[in-house]
A and B are shown apart, each in its own frame.
Chain A
Amino acid sequence: MDEKPGKAKVKIFRFDPSVDKEPRFENYEIPPEGWCGIKIIDTIRYIFENYAPGLSFREPCRQQLCGACTVMVNKKTVLSCDALSEKEMIIEPVPNRRVLKDLIVDLSEE
């Protein structure tokens, strides 16, 4: 790589319907180890471990099999254990589903 990767700007959706009136975004600047060349799910975990210990998200299989870690990144629905992190990301829950908390939505059918 020619230039240093630098810090990534990540906006992440936070909402706990049991206490919050409305959702908000939290902003983080992530050093290269937390985003460069790794999957989005790893960046989400990096944020949970280093900045946002209350962040809720799903990550059961991490092998593109279960689909539970699906989120919306920069307005595109992605499997976060499959897609690589980018230098600027807005991470939100998948649309058109009831948000249970943060990135966790109700995935039950009907």
Chain B
Amino acid sequence: MDSEDSSWKEIETPVLIIGSEAAGAKAAIEAQEDGADVLVVTKGLVGRNGNTVMAGAGIQAPLGHMDPRDNPDVFFEDVVKGGAYLNNQKLVEALVNLSVTEVPKMEKWGARFLKDGDKFVQYQLPGSSYPRTLNPIGHRGGLHWRRAFKTQFKRLNTRIMEDVFITRLLLSNGQVAGAFGISLRDGQFVIFKSKITILATGGCTQLYRKTDGSIDATGDGIILAYNAGADLMDMEFHQFFPMACYTPPFEMHQQTGAFRYYLHAKFYNAIGEEFMARYLPLSKDWGLRDPTSRAIYLENKYGRGSPHGGAYLAVNHLPHNLLDEWIKKHPLSLLPKLEKLGIDIRKDALEVGPACHYTIGGVRINENCETRLPRLYAVGEVASGMDGAERIDGGPAITWCLSMGYIAGKKAAKQVRELDWLPIEKEQVREEQEKIDSLLEKKEGIRGFEIKNKIKDTMWEHCALVRDGKGLKNALNVLEEIRKNDLPRICVPDSSRVFNKGLTEALEATHMLALSEMTVRAAMLREETRKSHYRTDFPKRDNKNWLKNIVISKGDGEMLLSTVSPVMTRLTPPEEEEVEG
């Protein structure tokens, strides 16, 4: 039942899903399958915003089609070892078990994969014990996922509202009663009244100057949850992808990955060395993403990088007829682009380098995808606990989205039948409305994109691949400076609420500022090196003191950091651990 008010519109939905891509779409579809009424709201356009459409060449499931030894238990072990034992093992167990049914389901929904008869062709990527990665045709997985979800939305007649920027979760007696946002198409404020809310808003890769992710990925959902009182976890961990295309800049990164993953490309520095062995004596060119990114970063520090701060990635050591056959089988849209630039992969190398790719931390959840707040779930990249200190290669991100969407969608459908509506506390609505209106009144000062730029440069400089106490302190000083001096001056030159990019960027900048502060504070606290978190002043993994997750919650006007032991059910670190990278 929709009701009108002079200043806001109210829309009721038993299940509200914020975010429309892999995780949100899957949650919506599963909830609808089980009879729930849902509404999906999204900041941009379905199938076009967020990182799902940009997803690359793979998705993982331990189907054992190429090697019968693979199974969910092995997948579980790979993920937990890859994450250096900081994963929530109950959650990982649920996700790997579901992957066996939910990943192949994507084919029934319209995704097309490389197959050998009725078997999926599966590849073994860094971090996997056996061939496990399914390969969507053309290495543009995102287009397949988009098609699959679209057909289901159509079949189920899913209710969707696009171009809605949610700015706050509404609480009633400590429970989530809905959300408040701006409909960007007509500029109206909207109250979404819900019995259950599922956050599926993705990560915050925009915190970094170099990123291969969507410009939408400003971590809005993480801040929505935090502001409402949910816990966050593992915010110090961000994944960097070592093969972002530096020439041409930031294009088709996932296809450059194909050269490495499916053709065993080699990395070279500017003086022709196969330098990876220097940093990764065991895995060499086959290392996980962060140590590989870090090696490229360090080569540049030592003056041996490529012109744009990266490295060379080449397959020219392979016979031409092998490459020709491969290209025939894998028609990459990147190739004609490279050709135009005079780059022939049979002879030349690509220039690639690190870019922030995936947010490992996020909203803290349990194995049911429930947050600390009653009636609030979090699924996909917005959540944490799946990956521990590092996400392994090979495409578990979309796998997690499917498994988590399944869990939350089914749970929500069941739970929603037993729940009553909660009253909307209009005071919160008025407060939020005033906050936005007062932003719109400020015409002079500093704009959202300017604050974003400062954050991105600071984070890239001090809190990316190589960290130390001094640099982190510097970063914190800059961020505190921004909070003190810039944030009060944040302005929105245009007064309209209709597609006002200045307004949305101002809101995103405030989210990014809080998220970068969290990252820096957690990185300062974690005085050790563990996978994606690398401290030159604490270069060793410290299982004695740091087999812990850092939890961040909102105190009285300040961030509270505390530590908890990871949920461990089956796997504990061995006494003597061989650690590489």
Measuring CB to CB, which residues of chain A are less than 8 angstroms from any residue of chain B?
16, 18-19, 48-49, 53-68, 100-102, 104, 107-108
Contact at A63–B251, with CB atoms within 8 Å? yes
Contact at B140–A53, with CB atoms within 8 Å? no
Assess A65 versus B143: contact at CB under 8 Å? Given A49-B449, A54-B494, A58-B44.
yes
Contact at A18–B44, with CB atoms within 8 Å? no
Contact at A66–B498, with CB atoms within 8 Å? no
- Give Cα A49–Cα B498 distance, bound, in whole angstroms: 18
Q: Give the shortest distance, in Å, between B133 (CB) and chain A (any CB).
A: 20
Measuring CB to CB, which residues of chain B are less than 8 angstroms from any residue of chain A?
44-45, 47-50, 53-54, 140, 142-143, 162-163, 185-187, 212, 214-216, 250-253, 333, 447, 449, 492-494, 496, 498-502
Q: Give the shortest distance, in Å, between A86 (CB) and chain B (any CB).
A: 17
Contact at A66–B253, with CB atoms within 8 Å? no
Contact at B48–A67, with CB atoms within 8 Å? yes
| Other 11 A-B pairs with CB < 8 A, given A18-B496, A53-B494, A108-B162 | A18-B186, A18-B187, A53-B502, A54-B494, A54-B502, A57-B501, A60-B214, A61-B214, A65-B143, A100-B185, A101-B498
For A102, what are the chain B residues with a Cβ–Cβ distance below 8 Å? 499
Contact at A65–B496, with CB atoms within 8 Å? no
Contact at A60–B187, with CB atoms within 8 Å? no
Q: List 12 A-B contacts (CB under 8 A).
A: A18-B186, A53-B447, A54-B493, A55-B501, A56-B499, A56-B501, A60-B216, A61-B48, A61-B214, A65-B53, A66-B49, A100-B185
Assess A60 versus B501: contact at CB under 8 Å? Given A18-B186, A68-B44.
no
For B449, what are the chain A residues with a Cβ–Cβ distance below 8 Å? 49
Chain A's closest residue to B217 (CB) is A60
Q: When the two chains form the complex, which single residue of A18, A49, A66, A100 contacts B48, counting CB atoms closer than 8 Å? A: A66
For A53, what are the chain B residues with a Cβ–Cβ distance below 8 Å? 447, 492-494, 502
For B142, what are the chain A residues with a Cβ–Cβ distance below 8 Å? 65
Contact at B215–A101, with CB atoms within 8 Å? no
Q: When the two chains form the complex, which single residue of B49, B447, B493, B499 contacts A101, counting CB atoms closer than 8 Å? A: B499
For A107, what are the chain B residues with a Cβ–Cβ distance below 8 Å? 45, 48
Assess A60 versus B50: contact at CB under 8 Å? Given A18-B496, A53-B494.
yes
Q: When the two chains form the complex, which single residue of A49, A63, A66, A104 contacts B250, counting CB atoms closer than 8 Å? A: A63
Contact at A61–B53, with CB atoms within 8 Å? yes
Contact at B496–A68, with CB atoms within 8 Å? no
Contact at A68–B45, with CB atoms within 8 Å? yes
- Give Cα A53–Cα B187 distance, bound, in whole angstroms: 17
Q: Give the shortest distance, in Å, between B568 (CB) and chain A (any CB).
A: 38
For B162, what are the chain A residues with a Cβ–Cβ distance below 8 Å? 108
For A16, what are the chain B residues with a Cβ–Cβ distance below 8 Å? 496, 498
For B499, what are the chain A residues with a Cβ–Cβ distance below 8 Å? 56, 100-102, 104
Contact at B252–A61, with CB atoms within 8 Å? no
Contact at B253–A63, with CB atoms within 8 Å? yes
Contact at A54–B185, with CB atoms within 8 Å? no
- Give Cα A56–Cα B185 distance, bound, in whole angstroms: 11
For A49, what are the chain B residues with a Cβ–Cβ distance below 8 Å? 447, 449
Assess A60 versus B44: contact at CB under 8 Å? Given A65-B54, A65-B143.
yes
- Give Cα A103–Cα B45 distance, bound, in whole angstroms: 15
- The winner among A48, A54, A58, A66 for most chain B CB atoms within 10 A is A66
- Give Cα A68–Cα B186 distance, bound, in whole angstroms: 19
For B50, what are the chain A residues with a Cβ–Cβ distance below 8 Å? 60
For B140, what are the chain A residues with a Cβ–Cβ distance below 8 Å? 65
- Give Cα A66–Cα B496 distance, bound, in whole angstroms: 26
- Give Cα A101–Cα B496 distance, bound, in whole angstroms: 11
For B498, what are the chain A residues with a Cβ–Cβ distance below 8 Å? 16, 18, 56, 100-101
- Give Cα A86–Cα B411 distance, bound, in whole angstroms: 53
Chain A's closest residue to B187 (CB) is A18
Assess A63 versus B54: contact at CB under 8 Å? Given A54-B500, A55-B501.
yes
Q: Give the shortest distance, in Å, between B217 (CB) and chain A (any CB).
A: 9
Q: Give the shortest distance, in Å, between A22 (CB) and chain B (any CB).
A: 17
Contact at B500–A56, with CB atoms within 8 Å? yes
Contact at B45–A64, with CB atoms within 8 Å? no
For A104, what are the chain B residues with a Cβ–Cβ distance below 8 Å? 499
- Give Cα A10–Cα B250 distance, bound, in whole angstroms: 25
Q: Which 6 A-B pairs have the closest CB atoms?
A: A54-B494, A53-B493, A56-B499, A66-B48, A68-B48, A101-B499
Q: Give the shortest distance, in Å, between B54 (CB) and chain A (any CB).
A: 5
- Give Cα A49–Cα B446 distance, bound, in whole angstroms: 11
Chain B's closest residue to A107 (CB) is B45
- Give Cα A62–Cα B50 distance, bound, in whole angstroms: 11
Contact at A61–B54, with CB atoms within 8 Å? yes
- The winner among B45, B49, B333, B494 for most chain A CB atoms within 10 A is B45
For A65, what are the chain B residues with a Cβ–Cβ distance below 8 Å? 53-54, 140, 142-143
Assess A68 versus B54: contact at CB under 8 Å? Given A48-B501, A61-B214.
no
For B187, what are the chain A residues with a Cβ–Cβ distance below 8 Å? 18
Chain B's closest residue to A45 (CB) is B449
- Give Cα A55–Cα B215 distance, bound, in whole angstroms: 17
For A101, what are the chain B residues with a Cβ–Cβ distance below 8 Å? 498-499
- Give Cα A48–Cα B54 distance, bound, in whole angstroms: 25
Assess A59 versus B215: contact at CB under 8 Å? Given A16-B496, A65-B53, A68-B45.
yes
For A60, what are the chain B residues with a Cβ–Cβ distance below 8 Å? 44-45, 48-50, 214-216
- The winner among A16, A61, A64, A108 for most chain B CB atoms within 10 A is A61
Chain B's closest residue to A101 (CB) is B499
Q: Give the shortest distance, in Å, between B355 (CB) and chain A (any CB).
A: 11
- The winner among B45, B333, B501, B502 for most chain A CB atoms within 10 A is B501
Contact at A62–B250, with CB atoms within 8 Å? yes
- Give Cα A56–Cα B54 distance, bound, in whole angstroms: 23
Q: Give the shortest distance, in Å, between B374 (CB) and chain A (any CB).
A: 33
- Give Cα A62–Cα B45 distance, bound, in whole angstroms: 15
Chain B's closest residue to A38 (CB) is B249
- Give Cα A56–Cα B253 distance, bound, in whole angstroms: 27
- Give Cα A28–Cα B50 distance, bound, in whole angstroms: 31
- Give Cα A108–Cα B50 distance, bound, in whole angstroms: 17
For B216, what are the chain A residues with a Cβ–Cβ distance below 8 Å? 60
For A68, what are the chain B residues with a Cβ–Cβ distance below 8 Å? 44-45, 48-49
- Give Cα A84–Cα B113 distance, bound, in whole angstroms: 33
For B251, what are the chain A residues with a Cβ–Cβ distance below 8 Å? 63-64
